[in-house]
Amino acid sequence: MRCKSAVCSLLIAGATLWSAPALHAQDPAVRVVSNSLMEGPADPQDFHKWLADMKRWRHEQRVRIGYDDAEYKRPELKWTQSSYMQPQMMIEDRYFYDPVAGKYTVDRYLDDLENRYGGIDAVLVWPTYPNIGIDSRNQFDMFHDMPGGIDGIKQMVADFHRRHVRVLFPVMLWDQGTHNPGKPEAEALAEELTAVNADGVNGDTMIAVPRSFRIASDKTGHPLAFEPEHLTQDEALAYNNMDWAQAEPANPQPKPGPMRKYQGVAGPMYVNKYKWLETRHMTNISDRWQRDKNVDLQYAFFNGVGMETWENIWGIWNGMTERDSETVRRIAKIERHFSADLVSADWEPHWPMLRFQVYASKWPGDGETLWTIVNRNEFDLLGEQMEVPVEAGMRYFDVWHGVELRPAIRDGKAVLSFDMEAEGFGAILATKNPDEKLHALLGEMKKLNAVRLDSFSKHWSVLPQKMTEIAKTKPAPAAPEGMVKIPAASFNFEIEGIEIEGGNIAGVDFQYPWENIAQRRHKHWMQVESFYIDKYPVTNAQFKKFMDATKYHPRDDHNFLKDWKDGTYPAGWEQKPVTWVSLEDARAYAAWAGKRLPHEWEWQLAAQGTDGRSYPWGDRWNAAMVPKTNRSREASGPENVNTHPQAASPYGVEDLVGNVWQWTDEYMDDHTRAAVLRGGSYYKPMGSLWYFPQAYALDQHGKYLMMSPGRDRAATIGFRCVVDAR
């Protein structure tokens, strides 16, 4: 979900598909302005000619790509045609899983969405990036490491299905640097998603999910739907039933040419190219960082498609505003009711309206016709809005407001009058036989639209974070064995997060106790009290003493001490830092030892001193001071903690950088939870910039999203402890 160009996507996908067709349409009257956006008529009076040109272009393009609509006729995949609202959901979202109870909380997650914006039709469950690459586990390993493994995931999927929500998972063809799955990705994916009864696949960064995935999926007898991030391959439309329009509607790149006469301040309304080529195709618009989604929602409603209602973005909360949430509730209610009409092969976008900068799509259905309408003006429009040919016995309903209309008959036309809110929406239905379901919908919409959309706030705000408290220890009068004293100091704590995405927007990284908002870069002069810190990270031998003394066994023991066997560490590993321990495991050890985990600024002071140096040994990077980087597909294990004494900090603290990451503070907000990791590790998989980045410099830290102890444990994360000084 990160590559921003078709070229990048093609390289990532392994260049397994055809070359992308030029954006220019064959018919000069038809203008394709980007990957999936097509212009409407230059003037409303040109509508009929423009529509004829569009139909001719569609026919020619289908011939050119050898289009076959068989995948859209499959009963198993028909659900995609009405899957309008689909969030990408991070598995670390606190509404989705309760680590204390040790169970998935699907109902809590869905109840929240029902309450805030009317619920969803599908969910993209995301278990990989940005944590993938912290060690050598590949995307399939990380899937299996979700709580409960295959059985737990299968029950979680069943919980979504019980609430009539379809479930998708991603696939990353860029994941070629971690553990080799031993079989083609298409086969591995089809097998694991069949095992959990999932419904579909999102192709991360892909311009099309390759046909090999369609073949592998069908062989299992459990066909999956495919949804690439950037569908730009017209030929792939035949077997990719869904796609994203990645931030295009609100940020189009028009091609040079005559300006539309029907264009005002808000800009034109575009036709979705893939919806036009195949009206049963579903697009979910993804505009994740956008805070005002009204343009995207108008585009979706006009085109009869959906939205990626994505709010937890890599552990950064970008919640929808009240106004956008209420808009989603209303347009989704209409789209779901009229889903059969919104796949009409006779769709006519840009149906002529009577008012400037009002755009409508006509959807002829079985015994009825629906118009989905958007007002791009920043002011209300009242009175006459559209006219249609007079037809005996026809009745007209303003679905948006839930009332029947009484048309004025003029010159053989039925003129319909209704109000449209500024930057708002409308829906008109023509039918001779309104049924009970329609009347029920009208009642719901009348009640909803008794409150105008503009009465809901468009204010966006970030969720406040809170640092998990670390209780002080009993003060020590002298340095405990194996610990180094760090004197009290006035310390310039300067640090920044290395998150790959999010830029410098509000909500990225962490909110320290002295800050009013989470942000990427931090600088704070502080007085740090004296403390003692372990000279080295806790070793396997030390952790074994804890295990022998306490018989400690975590309730969630998945991956616990994964590299140990028969209750002990491998031969020769006694002085290597213990890994495959969760934050909870580290805290348990520290409590047993009469210690605690360090606050991040304590760790940094111990590593940096007060002179602001970049590395424990000085200001210049020196590869000889740290373990050799492992860039293979398998993590080999860390070095002994005392291997690089020359890399000690000004206070004599060792093994701070480049061997294993080290647990420090934990932060959470209402939806997200993450730990601050310090020091970087020896393992760095090759092949993709999306792998968890390293933070060797002392003014950088890693943000590690947390879900459950079993999921959080990693081959490259250890810890060291501190004790408060008297």
Q: For 455-488, how does the pLDDT look when each residue is reduced to its tens digit (9 = 90+)?
A: 999 999 999 999 999 999 999 999 999 999 999 9
Residue 5 has pLDDT above 80, yes or no: no
Range 260-271 average pLDDT:
63
What's phi and psi for 100, nearest 5 deg? -75, -50
pLDDT tens column, 79-101: 999 999 999 999 999 999 999 99
d(CA 308, CA 491): 44
Residue 427 resides in a domain = no
What is the domain-level CATH number for residue 712? 3.90.1580.10
Q: Which residues of 348-357 are buried (b: 16+ CB within 10 A; e: fewer)?
A: bbbbbbeeeb
**Out of 56-65, 245-254, 303-312, 701-710, which region has the weakest mean confidence (pLDDT)?**
245-254
Residue 13 is predicted with a pLDDT of: 39
Band of the pLDDT at 21, cuts 50, 70, 90?
very low
pLDDT of residue 340: 98
User: pLDDT grade, residue 33 (50/70/90)?
Assistant: confident
pLDDT-derived band at 252, boundaries 50, 70, 90:
low
Arithmetic mean of pLDDT, 350-362: 97
Reported as a single tens digit per residue, the pLDDT across 370-379 is 999 999 999 9
Q: Write the single-letter amino acid at 39.
A: E
pLDDT at 584: 98
Confidence of residue 268 (pLDDT cuts 50, 70, 90): confident
Mean pLDDT, residues 25-49 taken together: 86
Q: What average pLDDT score do residues 106-114 get?
A: 98
Whether residue 3 has pLDDT greater than 70: no
Neighbours of 650 (CB within 10 A): 17
CATH number at residue 122: 3.20.20
pLDDT attached to residue 291: 95
**pLDDT tens column, 643-673:** 999 999 999 999 999 999 999 999 999 999 9
Locus of tokens 């309008």: 84
| Residue 23: predicted pLDDT | 44
- Kindly state whether residue 455 falls inside one of the protein's structural domains: no
Q: Is the pLDDT of residue 259 over 80?
A: no
**Cα distance between residue 320 and residue 15, in whole Å:** 36
Determine, yes or no, domain membership for 497: yes
| 206 domain residue, yes or no | yes
Mean pLDDT of the chain: 94
Q: Specify whether the backbone of 347 is left (phi greater than 0), alpha (psi in -120 to 50) or beta.
A: beta
The Cα–Cα gap between 370 and 360 comes to 10
CB atoms within 10 A of CB 328: 25
Q: Among residues 187, 209, 244, which one ends one of the domains?
A: 244
Query: What pLDDT does residue 26 have?
Result: 64
| pLDDT surpasses 90 at 220 | yes
The whole domain housing 132 covers: 1-244
Q: Is the pLDDT of residue 29 over 90?
A: no
Enter the pTM of the model: 0.94
Best CA proximity match to 279, nearest among 177, 371, 400, 363: 363
Whether 421 is in a domain gets the answer no
Tens of pLDDT along 516-559?
999 999 999 999 999 999 999 999 999 999 999 999 999 999 99
pLDDT band at 18 (very low <50, low <70, confident <90, very high): very low
Is residue 306 domain-resident?
no
Q: Does residue 364 lie within any of the structural domains? A: no
Instruction: Give the residue from 203, 223, 244 where a domain finishes.
Output: 244
Q: How many domains does the chain have?
A: 2
Q: How far apart are CA 120 and CA 346, in angstroms?
A: 27
Residue 446 has pLDDT above 50, yes or no: yes
Look at residue 22 and tell me if it is in a domain.
Answer: yes
The label of the residue with tokens 């553990």 reads 179
Q: List the one residue out of 596, 612, 617, 600 whose CA is nearest residue 532.
A: 596
Query: With contact defined as beta carbons under 8 Å apart, do 9 and 173 qualify?
Result: no
